[in-house]
Every structure is written in structure tokens, then in C-alpha cells.
Amino acid sequence: MRYLPHSDHERAEMLGVIGAADIDSLFSAVPKRALKSFDLGLPAHSPEFLVEAHMRALAGKNRAGADGPFFVGAGAYRHHVPATVDHLIQRSEWLTAYTPYQPEISQGTLQMLFEFQTQVAKLTGMDVANASLYDGSTGTAEAVLMARRLTKRNKIVLSGGLHPHYRDVVKAYLKDDTDLQCLSASPEGQGDILDHIDEQTAAIVIQTPDFYGHLRNLKTAADAAHAKGALLIVVITEIVSLGLIEAPGAYGADIVVAEGQSIGNALNFGGPYLGLMATRKEFIRQMPGRLCGETVDAEGQRGFVLTLSTREQHIRREKATSNICTNSGLCALAFSIHMALLGEAGFTRLARLNHARACKLADALAAVGGVDVLNKSFFNEMTIRTSQPAAALVERLAARGILAGVPVSRLEPDDPSVANLIVLAATELTTDADIAALCAALAEELA
């Protein structure tokens, strides 16, 4: 077996040093009836070329994004990742290092995390950011719990524009919690959340651009929340939007949670992704997740360490702010490298390009009979109402080689009012030919 260095001769020699008769004697604590008492019936070890053939066959049964027109978004976005990013993150020293618990020999990872935290703080316009969480959805649940700790209040109100998966994750985390109020879907971008804030409210959660693509007014939301002593949690699933849209920090957001996948990370069928979390300076001791901080070494040289770990499970055990034990380090590295390659100039251009492609898509869709574009505002994603049920329509378009977006009913099967809605995204990778192909196919299907 190519990954195992010992020869049988060496194994025997080592057993001799140990003073063990055979390998089974090292497993003497295992109850006899449980030790090797079975035939697994699994295939035997396999040469690299056969494993590769097996995996290629599986991959070959999937329709990749590059195979044709592609408009799927709804929380994960298909962007170009520079070749440099993927090369760098595969360097041994990044890929095969552990959590930087020994800072003297982990300064690469630590300095990168410090740079990453700075980038996220600047993007969101917040004071501080952590070293990343699993993804945007679990980050949203963590933000809700953080708001409860900060306000010592329990009521949480989720906007009807929040990604339904994110809402479902919050529901699972707060199982059977009567203080959780989930507003019904708002595909027209209608804002009804402000009426639900009261003196018991810990936080309101608003996504912008929301699940349906609308941009939400964070200024009025922040003011209304703060007037009652509640916090505003802002959720962003398309981080590229911050290249064109005002930073939530500028409006007075208290906690910002985002999915960072769009920068540096491939679609990967849903993961691994990258949760971003940023907040106000005075809230850091209630923030979950790892934090990297600057310090000096014994010779006064600048260096970086994981810090404020007294919040975390390995120190606080049952009193920790969260049970989280890891971040999404390599995804954060990919994000940070891609963001460094973009810089302010490149990031702004990327955002403008996305918006321009989406404007083109919206105008083309509006001209198709049987299609209504619901959005007055959007960044790179929008919702259409079609004259036929969306799920079957999307399936028919897929059969024609076009991935036309996400039928809302897939995420909201119990809400008949969304049965004819499709959420579509455009990115810098969306071509004029893609848009033309989609609109022609839609026109034929809806004729």
C-alpha cells in the first residue's frame, strides 16, 4: 500500500522492541467479540490509475458549469478563480499545516489570517472580523446566538428575504424556540420586518441583496432596531456585491455575516465554503470563532498569535461562546489571495462587470413573453415569474442544456405563491450568447 512506509520486516522488528508477540496483542483492551470479528466486504487497495478512473467516471455523470449556459445562484455563485490562487493554496506549507497553535512555526498562516481579518473588516465596514466560520448559514445561526448573549433578550425576527436554507439552519439551532419569528417569503422585496421589533427583540436579521435579489434598506432597519435596543444582523450571500453596494457598517449594522465562497472558492456542490463574520469592537468577546491578533516575540519582533481564546471551547468547555473548534482556513486563504490579486481596483471592476451582466440579463428576460422580472433593484441576481410552474420548466431547460436558475419551490415547497418563481444569477462568466440561448429557450417553452 503506497501510503504506508513499513515493510513486514520492519513491523516485526518494531513488535520485538515493544515486546509484543503480534499486532493483535496491542489491541488486547478490545473485547474479543468486537476485534476483527467481521468481513467488511469492501474492495481491496487499488492502484492510482484505477482510483482515478473510478472518480472520473462519477465526475463525468455531472453537468459542470462550464458545459453550457449557467444561471444558478441563490447563495453560491460561479465566478472565475485565478490560476494563481489554486496553485498557491496547494503549496504543502498551506495545505498540510494544522491550526496555528504553535505560533513560532505558524507565522505564515497567522499573518495571512490577520490580513484576511483586515480585508473582511474593510469590505463590510465593520471594526473587527474573525478568522472565518464554516459557511454563511451556520454563521447566521451563530450571529443570532451572539445577539442573544449581547442583549440578554430572546426574540429574533428573520426577514422574509433571508435565504430559506439559512432560515432553516437558524430554526434547527433554536429548535422549538417560540421566540423565533420567521416572516413569510417576500419575493417582491416588500419590507415588513420593522413592525415586528419590540422591547423584547434581541435582533432582526436582514439579507441584502436578499434571496430574491432585491437590495434592502439597511439604514431604516438599523435605526428602527436601535430605537428599541435591538441589534441589526446583516446577511450577505454574494460578497462581490460589496464592490458596488454600500458597506453594512456605514448604515450601523451590529453584526455582519456573509458567505465568502464567491471569492477564491469553487462551487464544489455546496462546500467547503467560507463564513465571514464581522462586528463592532465592543462585541468581540461575545463573537464565536478564532481570532488572530498582533503581538511581539521575545526579541520585540512583530508576530501574530491566536488570541482571546478564553471565549473558546478548549479553554472554557461548557461555558464557551460556541462549540466551534475550527475555521475554514484554506478557504480563507483562497479568499485572501484572490482579494489581494483583485485589490480595490480589480474588485470594483469585478462588481461592475457582474452588475452589467445582470442588467443585460434582466432586460433580455423582460422582453420574453410569459416572463415578468420582479426586481426594481438588484446586484447580480433577480427573480422572474413565469407563466408556467417553475420546477418543471427548469427541468425542461436543463434537458436542453441550459441551467436556468433555481425554482423557488425547491426551497419553499409548502408555499404555493412561489410556484412560478425562478431566481437567476449572472456573473462575469455570463456571456451574451448564454443570455440569448436562455431567452430563446424560455420563449419556446412558454409559447
Partner 1 sequence: MSMNNQGRPTGIGTSSFASSTGSALLPNEPLLFEIGDTEHSGVDLPDVTISGSRLGGFERRMPLDLAGLTEPEAMRHYVRLSRLNHSIDSGMYPLGSCTMKHNPRLNEKMARLPGFADIHPLQPASTVQGALELMEQLSHWLMTLTNTAAVALTPKAGAHGELLGMMAIKAAQEAAGQGHRRIVLVPESAHGTNPATAAFLGYTVKAIPARSDGTVDVQAVRDALSPEVAAIMLTNPNTCGLFEPDVIEIAEAVHEAGAFFYCDGANFNAIMGVVRPGDLGIDAMHINLHKTFSTPHGGGGPGAGPVVLSQALAPFAPVPFVRKGAKGLELVEHAQGEALGRITAFQGQMGMYVRALTYMLSHGGDGLAQAAQDAVLNANYIKARLAHAFSVPFGDCPTMHEALFDDSFLAGTGVTTLDFAKALIDEGFHPMTMYFPLVVHGAMLIEPTESESKQTLDHFCAVMEELAADAKAGNAERFTSAPLKAPRRRLDETRAARSPILKWERPEETLKAAE
Q: For residue 379, give the nearest of 236, 234, 209 by alpha carbon.
A: 209
Give me the least distance between CB of 425 and partner 1, in Å please. 10
Binds partner 1 by CB under 8 A, chosen from 103, 229, 252, 370:
103
Query: Quick check: 284 binds partner 1 (CB under 8 A)?
Result: yes
Give me the least distance between CB of 46 and partner 1, in Å please. 6
Give me the least distance between CB of 386 and partner 1, in Å please. 16
Query: Quick check: 239 binds partner 1 (CB under 8 A)?
Result: no
Query: Quick check: 106 binds partner 1 (CB under 8 A)?
Result: yes
- CA dihedral (266, 268, 272, 278) in degrees, to 10, reads 50
- CA dihedral (386, 392, 397, 401) in degrees, to 10, reads 160
Query: Quick check: 434 binds partner 1 (CB under 8 A)?
Result: no
Give me the least distance between CB of 232 and partner 1, in Å please. 15
Nearer to partner 1, 225 or 424 (CB): 424
Contact region with partner 1 (CB under 8 A), list: 101-109, 179-187, 192-200, 434-442: 101-109
Query: Quick check: 302 binds partner 1 (CB under 8 A)?
Result: yes
- Please list, in sequence order, all residues whose beta carbon lies within 8 angstroms of the beta carbon of residue 148, skipping any fewer than 6 positions away: 154, 156, 202, 203
Query: Quick check: 207 binds partner 1 (CB under 8 A)?
Result: no
393 with 373: CB under 8 angstroms? no
**CA separation for the pair 146, 170 (Å, rounded):** 12
Binding mask 166-205 for partner 1 (x = CB under 8 A): x-xx-xxx-xx-----------------------------
- Using DSSP's 3-state secondary structure scheme, residue 91 falls into coil
Give me the least distance between CB of 223 and partner 1, in Å please. 15
**CA separation for the pair 367, 349 (Å, rounded):** 27
Measured at the alpha carbon of residue 409, what is the angle toward residues 73 and 210, in degrees to the nearest 5?
45
Query: Quick check: 280 binds partner 1 (CB under 8 A)?
Result: no
Q: Which residues within the stretch 39-78 sit at the binding site for partner 1 (CB under 8 A)?
A: 40-46, 48, 51-52, 54-66, 70, 72, 74-76, 78
Contact region with partner 1 (CB under 8 A), list: 149-157, 207-215, 226-234, 435-443: 207-215
Binding mask 127-146 for partner 1 (x = CB under 8 A): -xx-xx-xxxxx--------
Nearer to partner 1, 122 or 196 (CB): 122
Measured at the alpha carbon of residue 235, what is the angle toward residues 71 and 255, in degrees to the nearest 5?
160
CB neighbours of residue 443 within 10 Å: 14
Query: Which residue type occupies 252?
Result: G
Contact region with partner 1 (CB under 8 A), list: 109-117, 196-204, 224-232, 430-438: 109-117
Give me the least distance between CB of 151 and partner 1, in Å please. 19
Give me the least distance between CB of 160 and partner 1, in Å please. 17
From the number of C-beta atoms within 10 Å of its C-beta (0-12, 13-18, 19+), residue 375 rates as buried
Query: Which residue type occupies 394?
Result: V
- Rounded to whole angstroms, the maximal C-alpha distance in the chain is 82
Query: Quick check: 252 binds partner 1 (CB under 8 A)?
Result: no
**CA separation for the pair 155, 178 (Å, rounded):** 8
Binds partner 1 by CB under 8 A, chosen from 192, 195, 198, 344:
344
Binding mask 358-397 for partner 1 (x = CB under 8 A): xx--x------------xxxxx--------------xx--
Contact region with partner 1 (CB under 8 A), list: 106-114, 153-161, 194-202, 224-232: 106-114
Nearer to partner 1, 355 or 385 (CB): 355
Tell me the backbone φ, ψ of residue 74, rounded to 5 degrees. 55, 45
Binds partner 1 by CB under 8 A, chosen from 21, 195, 282, 352:
352
Query: Quick check: 293 binds partner 1 (CB under 8 A)?
Result: yes
| DSSP strand pairing (128-129 vs 275-279) | antiparallel
**CA separation for the pair 243, 349 (Å, rounded):** 8
Q: For residue 338, give the nearest of 72, 85, 41 by alpha carbon.
A: 85
